[in-house]
């Protein structure tokens, strides 16, 4: 696993990481490591979701600011009613 952080934004944070794939990895497996949509990552890099990547292929992984990631809302706790 090699990561190359690049493209510093105006805020000083990287906009994306360059991920160097290992032979046979798929965009789906890489997306899973980052917790992002495999379809989005595949479209962003113009490759198939389950396409086996050659070793050394650079996949650009967009960095999503934590504030932009929607947290899963907590499960409501039932409130007892009546006796």
pLDDT, tens digit (0-9, with 9 covering 90-100), for 31-82: 999 989 999 999 999 999 999 999 999 999 998 655 444 444 456 666 777 6
Distance CA 48, CA 38 (A): 9
pLDDT band at 30 (very low <50, low <70, confident <90, very high): very high
Q: pTM of the predicted model, to two decimals? A: 0.62
DSSP state, residue 66: G
Q: Which residue has the tokens 């798929």?
A: 26
Q: Mind listing the pLDDT tens digit for each residue in 15-29?
A: 889 999 999 999 999
């Amino acid at each position: 696993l090699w990561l190359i952080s690049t493209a510093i934004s105006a805020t000083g944070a990287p906009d994306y990481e360059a991920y160097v794939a290992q032979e046979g990895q798929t965009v789906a497996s890489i997306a899973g490591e980052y917790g992002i949509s495999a379809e989005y990552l595949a479209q962003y890099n113009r490759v198939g979701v389950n396409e086996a990547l050659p070793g050394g292929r650079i996949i650009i992984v967009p960095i999503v600011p934590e504030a932009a990631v929607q947290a899963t809302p907590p499960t409501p706790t039932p409130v007892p009613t009546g006796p």
